[in-house]
Structure 1
Amino acid sequence: MNRTRRLSTVVAGLVVATLAVSGCGVLWDLKTEGAQPVPRPGNSSSPNLEGVPAGFERYYGQRLDWSECKGADGGAYDCTTVSAPLDWSDPEGGEIELAVIRRAADDGAALGSLLTNPGGPGSSGYDLIADSASFAVGDELAKKYDVIGFDPRGVGRSTAVTCFDARDMDAYLFDIPADPRGSDGWEDELTARNKEFVDACVKGSDGILPFITTDNAARDLDLLRGVLGDAKLNYLGYSYGTFLGATYAKLFPERVGRLVLDGAIDPSISGLDVGTTQAVGFESALRAYMADCLEGRDCPFRGTVDEAMADLGTLLASVDRTPLQNSDGRRLGADSLMTAIIAALYSQESWTYLTMALDQALSGDPQTAFLLADFYYGRNADGTYSDNSAEAFRAYNCMDYPVDTSQADQDAADALVKEKAPTIAPYWQGVDVCEQWPAPPTGVRERITAEGAEPIVVIGTTNDPATPYEWSVSLAEQLSSGVLVTRVGEGHTGFNKGNDCVDDAVVDYFVTGTVPADGLRCE
């Protein structure tokens, strides 16, 4: 059988924090206290119809019907839905709905709309803004822009990919195969699970699966720009949101306004290369965590970093052989423990919780590890799921990443991961759900230059585990107008993470149009 690495574990760190607000608030409290009402825009705006694709005039010409809704800070926001074509190659091929939320500029006179995407693919941009707009874009940008959150096609409140109920999703994500890892029986069981999942997606998603692509989502993004009345797109995208933003720039370079792509994905590399590079990135972040842990009194490991990593490997192998029983009936095996580790590595602020999880696991208690894994998947304490991100994630990846690697390429990637990420390597492979997907991938992996676009700012963090720094460097070099800003540090993404150098550069760019110096390095 042909096994393949998880395509991409990219979920923006920003999303991880947002899930903490909406689902696992014990980790972070990001709500803005004492928020005051702000002047809100009018209920309608004139759409911008310049350059509308032929046949799609009725979509770009729709007037938005805003209604008041509440954000997590208690403030008055505005919500609406936008109709979009299901298939951007066929204006008569049916339509979908996109859920949109607007937080009016605090200053009352907005510079324009600032659209946002938190990553995934599959994470809710609507919830990002509803739960914590100031965390998403920072206080200064919230003063100057009408901040727009939206759920991309297939996601959340928009026309969504729908697969399993909560019970079946628990089984899909957390059940442990009966046969030993890597055996034929293990592969057969995972293949059967994937088929059940895909069959449920086909049954529940009403024919939308072939159209859940980043190309279509980027065209939706231009539709949102048009119906909001903006001549150009101002956009802040994190993690996968950088791929969405770069795809927009490829399709509509003349409509690029001020774009910041934070924690970039390299659009030119294959899914196999994505998985390989991420494995190495998470191993590097795990070693950085371990070095920090060993300096503290509460660390459950001792000795050098290499010795501690070996002990962690022993723990993973132990729970792989003998899973730990949780109070809710689930068992913690190596895959779920690895998910917990990965979830905590997105932000240095969550390393304390990783220490707690590993300390408890060494004592036979999986509670905190499951809290982190649930946090990653958007699973609530009552066993429900806060969103459909796990389903939409797979839908986008299966359509965006062509299968174009040989067995020799796979073997070389396996060898590299074993060499560069020995702790993670045994748990980085699985049977690819995309082998069962009902539609062939339509995405392409290619360099994006976006000739003619205004300057596009790319932010990379030097030890970002999910979107390794080299990807930001590569994307900035590919873009004809790319400008690279480097944040030296740990964790995923760089803006609004406490680095004044990065934050000032982004705010000045959005507010005054001042483009940062290419190569700006923020220690």
Structure 2
Amino acid sequence: MRRRGRAAGIGALGAAVLVLVGACSDAGTGTDEAQAPAEPGLEQFYGQELTWGPCADYAPTTEDQPAYADPELDCTRVTVPQDYAEPGGETMQIALLRKKATGDRIGSLFTDPGGPGASGTSFMAGQASSWAANGLGDRFDLIGFDPRGTGASVPLIECLTDQENDEDRAKVFADPSPEGVAAAEAHSRQFAERCTERTGADVLANVGTRDVAKDMDILRAVVGDEQLTYAGFSYGTELGTAYAEAFPQNVRALLLDGAVDPTQTTIESTVKQNAGFQLAFDNFAKDCTTRENCPLGTDPAQATAAFQAIMQPLIDEPVPAGDGRMLSFNDAQTGVSQALYVSQLWPALQQGISQVANGNGDFLMQLADLYHRRDAQGEYSNMLQAFQAITCVNQPALTEPAEALELATQADEAAPFRSTGRGPVGARDACAFWPAPPTSEPHTPQVDGLPPVVVVSVTGDPATPYQAGVDLAGQLGGSLISVNGEQHTASLQGDPCVDRLAIDYLVNLTVPEEGAECTLMPS
């Protein structure tokens, strides 16, 4: 998942994975050299000893608890400096979840599912068994970690209560007038103030990708690995790229799937992502209009207009969602975009749009709840709050009203299916009012000495469009696996072609041949 601002467009969370293919090879294990700190003053962090134990208390949500109760999983927390410029100051605790290797161990395989803000321990708790079944579990300790401020790490980024989250989702800022822009900006300012009050400006200043990459090197060292083996999905590719820049000599293998292009500005990345979702919507519409009772009609060329006619009335008149809540325009759009992540959900999406046309918001609200990580008890994880906080320090904010209007205008043009029909609202988002400056900015990565890496990119990926993967592979001097399909990310999810290439690389360090290409098999 990756989006800019709280209303700029839906992002992309690394998909759930089911892996089928195994492989094997010989490779080294960790050595004392793995403990060497990168900078003076960090010796205590690189040299710490870990105490692993049951994972039950690490579950970030009630719904996670069954997966975390698996006795084959163990968990721990690793201490890292809150501010790497002051390693003797405050510290943070990074949560790790592990499924130990069952065979000839190469080392650890770290992973990040995306976001920013997604829980890597939750991701691995849910996927460890399927990953272990394909041979990766024989050769690697499978490790998920919660980047600082997220999941079971301490402290957490906290901005909104559950009730405030519900209220936040119901608000729609569709008025492009100066008064409407002022109201939207007041809302963004309030969010920034709540985050500052409840989390602390000192924490918010140090939750960016720059700092997580440094954490990753400590994690690599304390589990005893001389070099890092890593699979990153969506925003996880941004973490992998940052690690490659900071510690190229410590890389064993990087599999980067659903690429974020580090050279793109805020406006460029948001507009391209919106265009990616419009393409996904258009492809869905082509399929829907061939089916019986498609709510978009029978002409794909008119599908966006038909969709707007169904959705735009929700701005003023939300529809019941079955549990006492009302489906807002924002939640309807979120639910639709959630379904556009994978083409297998297209028939269900057709049903959800038909429901809205008939005054029923049940299905799209369920999809929106999934995106917002709201459980059946009405409790939220902090994922999207962390998403916003991390985003605000990862790129320079759009502080000028003219920039905000340019972004809104271009995003509206790129994805008309999301349009309110009332004109772009040029309001600055929460990052313009953030208490901490950015710690990263768009740039071309410098990765001298980096060993071969592999980038996976799907032609119909809505959230991280295909070209970003092509560009990232070039920037890192890596190999590209092109995947023909209509979904966000593709590796280690059960497709034989993609998984064979990905696993062969992770285990054997076999780089795919130039021009490697797969076509996703229908599920």
TM-score of the pair, normalised by structure 1: 0.88
Using the alignment, how far apart are the partners of 1:7 and 1:448 within structure 2? 26
Using the alignment, how far apart are the partners of 1:453 and 1:146 within structure 2? 23
Partner in structure 1 of residue 430 of structure 2: 433
Partner in structure 2 of residue 509 of structure 1: 505
Q: 2:449 aligns with which of 449, 452, 468?
A: 452
Q: 2:331 aligns with which of 333, 336, 343?
A: 336
Q: 1:375 aligns with which of 364, 370, 373?
A: 370
Residue pairs, 1:66-215, within 5 angstroms: 66-69=52-55, 72=67, 74-105=70-101, 107-134=102-129, 139-159=134-154, 160-176=156-172, 181-206=175-200, 207-215=202-210
Confirm whether residue 279 of structure 1 aligns to residue 265 of structure 2.
Answer: no
Question: Secondary structure in 2 aligned to 1:295?
Answer: coil
Partner in structure 1 of residue 475 of structure 2: 478
Say which is worse superposed, 157-166 or 238-247, in terms of deviation.
157-166
Q: Any unmatched runs of 5+ in structure 1? A: 19-29, 33-43
Using the alignment, how far apart are the partners of 1:157 and 1:5 within structure 2? 23
Using the alignment, how far apart are the partners of 1:419 and 1:9 within structure 2? 16
Residue pairs, 1:297-312, within 5 angstroms: 297-312=292-307
Q: 1:247 aligns with which of 224, 242, 250?
A: 242
Change over 3 Å in CA distance of 1:308–1:294 after alignment to 2: same
Confirm whether residue 384 of structure 1 aligns to residue 397 of structure 2.
Answer: no
Partner in structure 2 of residue 22 of structure 1: none
Question: Secondary structure in 1 aligned to 2:55?
Answer: strand
Contact 1:336–1:370, Cα closer than 8 Å, also in 2? yes
Residue by residue over 1:260-302, the C-alpha shift from the partner in whole angstroms, topping out at 9 and shown as x without a partner, is 0000000011111111001100000011111122233353332
Question: Secondary structure in 2 aligned to 1:68?
Answer: coil
Q: 1:403 aligns with which of 377, 389, 397?
A: 397
Partner in structure 2 of residue 464 of structure 1: 461
Using the alignment, how far apart are the partners of 2:70 and 2:7 within structure 1? 39
Partner in structure 2 of residue 424 of structure 1: 418
Partner in structure 1 of residue 223 of structure 2: 228
Say which is worse superposed, 495-504 or 370-379, in terms of deviation.
495-504
Using the alignment, how far apart are the partners of 1:403 and 1:138 within structure 2? 44
Partner in structure 1 of residue 23 of structure 2: none
Q: Which amino acid aligns with 1:289?
A: F
Confirm whether residue 491 of structure 1 aligns to residue 477 of structure 2.
Answer: no
Contact 1:135–1:496, Cα closer than 8 Å, also in 2? no
Aligned residues: 492
Change over 3 Å in CA distance of 1:210–1:409 after alignment to 2: closer
Q: Which amino acid aligns with 2:460?
A: N
Partner in structure 2 of residue 12 of structure 1: 13
Partner in structure 1 of residue 344 of structure 2: 349
Question: Secondary structure in 1 aligned to 2:459?
Answer: strand
Q: Any unmatched runs of 5+ in structure 2? A: 21-29, 57-65
Question: Secondary structure in 1 aligned to 2:313?
Answer: helix
Using the alignment, how far apart are the partners of 2:480 and 2:72 within structure 1? 36
Partner in structure 1 of residue 47 of structure 2: 61
Using the alignment, how far apart are the partners of 1:328 and 1:255 within structure 2? 51
Contact 2:248–2:450, Cα closer than 8 Å, also in 1? yes
Deviation, structure 1 residue 511: 1.4
Deviation, structure 1 residue 210: 0.5
Change over 3 Å in CA distance of 1:9–1:448 after alignment to 2: farther
Contact 2:159–2:199, Cα closer than 8 Å, also in 1? yes
Using the alignment, how far apart are the partners of 1:470 and 1:262 within structure 2? 12
Contact 1:344–1:372, Cα closer than 8 Å, also in 2? yes
Change over 3 Å in CA distance of 1:456–1:165 after alignment to 2: same
Using the alignment, how far apart are the partners of 2:257 and 2:195 within structure 1? 31
Residue by residue over 1:152-183, the C-alpha shift from the partner in whole angstroms, topping out at 9 and shown as x without a partner, is 00101102101211011111222345xx5323
Partner in structure 2 of residue 23 of structure 1: none
Using the alignment, how far apart are the partners of 2:13 and 2:466 within structure 1? 14
Using the alignment, how far apart are the partners of 1:91 and 1:74 within structure 2? 35
Using the alignment, how far apart are the partners of 1:310 and 1:390 within structure 2? 30
Contact 1:45–1:64, Cα closer than 8 Å, also in 2? no
Question: Secondary structure in 2 aligned to 1:67?
Answer: coil
Partner in structure 2 of residue 48 of structure 1: 34
Deviation, structure 1 residue 308: 2.2
Q: Which amino acid aligns with 2:503?
A: V
Partner in structure 2 of residue 27 of structure 1: none
Identity over aligned pairs, percent: 35
Question: Secondary structure in 1 aligned to 2:135?
Answer: helix
Using the alignment, how far apart are the partners of 1:257 and 1:507 within structure 2? 14
Deviation, structure 1 residue 190: 2.5
Using the alignment, how far apart are the partners of 1:8 and 1:81 within structure 2? 33
Question: Secondary structure in 2 aligned to 1:208?
Answer: helix
Q: Which amino acid aligns with 2:351?
A: M
Contact 2:36–2:43, Cα closer than 8 Å, also in 1? no
Residue by residue over 1:75-101, the C-alpha shift from the partner in whole angstroms, topping out at 9 and shown as x without a partner, is 421110100000111111210000101
Residue by residue over 1:226-262, the C-alpha shift from the partner in whole angstroms, topping out at 9 and shown as x without a partner, is 1011010000000000000000000001111111000
Using the alignment, how far apart are the partners of 2:272 and 2:151 within structure 1? 29
Confirm whether residue 296 of structure 1 aligns to residue 291 of structure 2.
Answer: yes
Contact 2:5–2:430, Cα closer than 8 Å, also in 1? no
Using the alignment, how far apart are the partners of 1:68 and 1:325 within structure 2? 42
Deviation, structure 1 residue 306: 1.5
Deviation, structure 1 residue 422: 2.0
Contact 2:36–2:46, Cα closer than 8 Å, also in 1? no
Change over 3 Å in CA distance of 1:495–1:148 after alignment to 2: same
Contact 1:460–1:493, Cα closer than 8 Å, also in 2? yes
Contact 2:397–2:431, Cα closer than 8 Å, also in 1? no
Change over 3 Å in CA distance of 1:51–1:130 after alignment to 2: same
